[in-house]
Copies of this chain bind each other. A is one copy, B any other.
Amino acid sequence: MDKRILKTVKDIKELRVQGATNVAVSGLKALKFVKSEKEFEKASKLLASARPTEPMLRNGLKYVHYKHKMGSTVKEAVDDFLKMTSHTFKEIVEAGVRRIPDDSVVMTHCHSSLVNSILKKVKKQGKKISVVVSETRPLYQGRLTAKELSKAGIKVKFIVDSAMRSFVNDVDLCLVGADVLTADAFIVNKIGTSMLALAANEARTPFAVASELFKYDPETTKGLLEPIEKRKPSEVWRTNAKNVEVLNPAFDFTPAKYVNFIITEKGIINAFDVHFSVSTTYRWMF
């Protein structure tokens, strides 16, 4: 098999590629190097199992197989999916931008390219916004977000994660990304997201998610309990204290009842409509 495929599989496995979209895009691009039907099958399987917690890549593979069966070459099908992905991104940004009025204070957690694109575009339109960013331990993705937004001229307030409840009552909207959407209407996103959602709900602060419907995991429809990636303890604390076990789940589950709306490529939807939207938009997924 082409070494570039194997390298991609390894990169995904060893977390050198991160973020639902990046993993999907790099996995599919690698697929273009297959040289035979047999290799296509084999590469697909390798890629699909490289990161069990990333349904978007698996959805992309499913799409390519579906298109291929309908007559496209693998390369065409991959390009098709990548184009769709990029179009989808723009649609979500477009809808998201319209939801943020002038003079808004937005709060976000972790780093989402969708969320950042929305916020930067709102700023570009001349609307006045400021953003509260939580640092997002253990990997401090909040710092990335803060730097990116501040570079775009957006005023940022930066806080530790546990200060979310202290600030959420004074913002106009919480806006976060997503890694997985599930059949029972949960949003899987960076650890801490469900805390923010809970606190936002307590304060009647709207809580929104920006996410491609591609992130839906059709396996959850069949009963899969979406697995949560358990990362290295050392990211949290390099300790050798005995009796201490460091637990480092990367994501948590936010129930739909705490989510006011989701910004998707099909527009604004309520959080209980995810399955409906996915199943009528991407029939090949099931």
Residues in chain A within 8 A of chain B (CB atoms): 94-99, 101, 109, 134-138, 143, 146-147, 149-151, 153-167, 169, 183-185, 191-192, 194-195, 198-199, 202-204, 220-225, 236-237, 239, 241-249, 252, 255-257, 260-261, 263, 266-270, 272-273, 275-276, 279-280
Contacts and interface: CB of A to CB of B under 8 A. Distances in A.
Given A135-B236, A242-B150, A165 B223 contact: no
Contact of A153 (B95, B166, B243, B280): B243
A239 B143 contact: yes
A271 B112 CA distance: 29
B261 A184 contact: yes
B160 A161 contact: yes
B158 A245 contact: yes
Given A183-B267, A195-B195, A220-B268, A247 B165 contact: no
Classify the interface of chain A: helix, strand, loop or mixed: mixed
Query: What is the total number of copies of this protein in its complex?
Result: 6
A158 B244 CA distance: 7
Contact of A155 (B98, B166, B243): B243
Contacts of A268: 183-184, 220-223
Given A137-B161, A159-B246, A165-B252, 11 more contacts: A99-B223, A137-B162, A150-B241, A150-B242, A165-B198, A166-B249, A183-B267, A183-B270, A255-B260, A272-B272, A273-B275
B160 A223 contact: no
Given A97-B223, A166-B249, A202-B204, A270 B185 contact: yes
A247 B162 contact: no
A202 B204 CA distance: 6
Contacts of A275: 269-270, 273, 276
Contacts of A195: 162, 164-165, 195, 199
A271 B267 CA distance: 18
A64 B72 CA distance: 39
B204 A159 contact: no
Nearest to A155: B243
Contacts of A156: 241, 243-245
A191 to B, nearest CB: 5
Contacts of A97: 223
B241 A147 contact: yes
Contacts of A256: 270
A246 to B, nearest CB: 5
A143 B162 CA distance: 16
A138 B158 contact: no
A249 to B, nearest CB: 6
A102 to B, nearest CB: 11
